[in-house]
Structures are given as C-alpha cells and as structure tokens.
Amino acid sequence: RKEVEQDPGPFNVPEGATVAFNCTYSNSASQSFFWYRQDCRKEPKLLMSVYSSGNEDGRFTAQLNRASQYISLLIRDSKLSDSATYLCVVNKAGTGRRALTFGSGTRLQVQP
Amino acid sequence: NAGVTQTPKFRVLKTGQSMTLLCAQDMNHEYMYWYRQDPGMGLRLIHYSVGEGTTAKGEVPDGYNVSRLKKQNFLLGLESAAPSQTSVYFCASSYRSQGALKETQYFGPGTRLLVL
C-alpha cells in the first residue's frame, strides 16, 4: 500500500464548477499535511497547509480527518488557471528524519 | 532573491557516465533535499541535508551521492549513470522548524536527465 494515495484523475470540470479531491495516508503518526500544486513540467509549489480544524484560503478549503486518515481539498468557482496537478503531502512521522511523502497527484483540467 | 536554482536544466548521458547536479538557494535555509519524480510515482526523496557538512539517505539513495560543503549548495552526483536514473530531479530547501513539521519546502525548477 502506498503511504499517500490519490486518485490520479483527470478531473475534467467546467469553469465555475466546484471540485473536490481526496487523499488517504497510511501513517497514523503523521502530524503535518499539505497540498502542493504542480503545473505541467514545473516544480511543485505549496498551495496550503492543512490544519486539524480545517482551513480556507479564498476559493480553496482543506479538511483533515485523522480518524479515517484522509485529507480533502475543495476548489470552488474553478478557474482555467486552476488546471494543474494537486499533490497531497504528508510528513514522515516516526522515522527520526525530516522528510515529506508526496502522493502521485490528482490532475485537474478546467474547461472553458 | 532567486530562491532555489538548479543546473543544468537538461542533460543527456550515456550509460556509465558520471555527472553532478548543482542546487543553490539564497534563502539561508538549513535543510536541503534531492527528489526524483517519475510518472505515476510522485516525488521520492533521494538524499537530504539538515545543515552544512551533514547528509543523510532518503528512500531511494542507491546510485547517488551528495555533498553539502556550503550551506547554500547541495550537490547530487551520479557516479555511473544507468537508464533507470532517467527522471526529473528536483532540489528543495526549507527552514528548520520546531515541533510539528509545518515547514514549507521551496523547490527548484528541476533537471531533466535522460540516460541512454
């Protein structure tokens, strides 16, 4: 089982739609959670951290469910510029080293 | 600030050749990392460094060596390249943080390596 699992997609949605991605992680000791965004052939960039109580940043809302070990990202009012791959990222807890585990990403394509 | 830079951007090697990838950051970050990204597999950590003069293995270290002689630079070496090392290599850096690892990793633009 992968440490971080995501549906690869692609999710094809029209402009203005609401879309949600889920991600599951296997290490129950993980403490830090993030969503990164990666444009085609570019480097990953932090989209937002995910806090236990859930958090919002403009059109983006992230939720964490520790009991079920999943993280979600909701994008409202999708824009063409949201087209990208969204990476779910979890810290490697319990290994004594500072490292992150990246999911393989969910691809979003927003259509005009 | 340039952030994190990587050289070269693209390279083609023959099997058995060696090369060094250079990563530089101007943000005074303590931590630096080398990842590889392959289709369908996400980023995998090769080696990392928690400070000048220190390095440690990640999850896929075989076939690679690293050095951190200066705080701002992190070098990744391939001594004898193999086709399985064809990949996109990303360098990243981050601040040292206390407690929970709520650190942001800043990535370089990547190096595309093709080993024939």
pLDDT tens per residue across span B3-37: 999 999 999 999 999 999 999 999 999 999 999 99
Cβ pair A87:B43 closer than 8 A: yes
Q: What is the mean pLDDT of residues B86-96?
A: 92
Give whole-number Cα distances, A44 to A28, A84, A95, B12, B113, in Å.
25, 10, 24, 23, 18
B41 CB within 8 Å of a chain A CB: yes
Query: How far B40 CA sits from the closest chain A CA (Å)?
Result: 6
- Which chain B residue is nearest to residue A2, measuring alpha carbons? B41
B116 CB within 8 Å of a chain A CB: no
pLDDT of A13-40, one tens digit each? 999 999 999 999 998 888 889 999 999 9
Instruction: Give B45's contacts in chain A (Cβ within 8 Å).
Output: 99-100
Counting as low any pLDDT under 70, the low residues of chain A are 93-98
Backbone dihedral region for residue B41 (phi beyond 0: left; psi -120 to 50: alpha; all else: beta): alpha
Cβ pair A98:B48 closer than 8 A: yes
Query: How far B43 CA sits from the closest chain A CA (Å)?
Result: 6
A32 CB within 8 Å of a chain B CB: yes
| Separation between Cα atoms, residue A59 and residue A56, nearest integer Å | 7
Cβ pair A46:B105 closer than 8 A: yes
| Separation between Cα atoms, residue A95 and residue B97, nearest integer Å | 17
**What is the overall mean pLDDT for chain B?**
92
| Separation between Cα atoms, residue B22 and residue B18, nearest integer Å | 13
Residue B101: the pLDDT is 46
Helix locations, A16-92, DSSP H: none
**What is the overall mean pLDDT for chain A?**
91
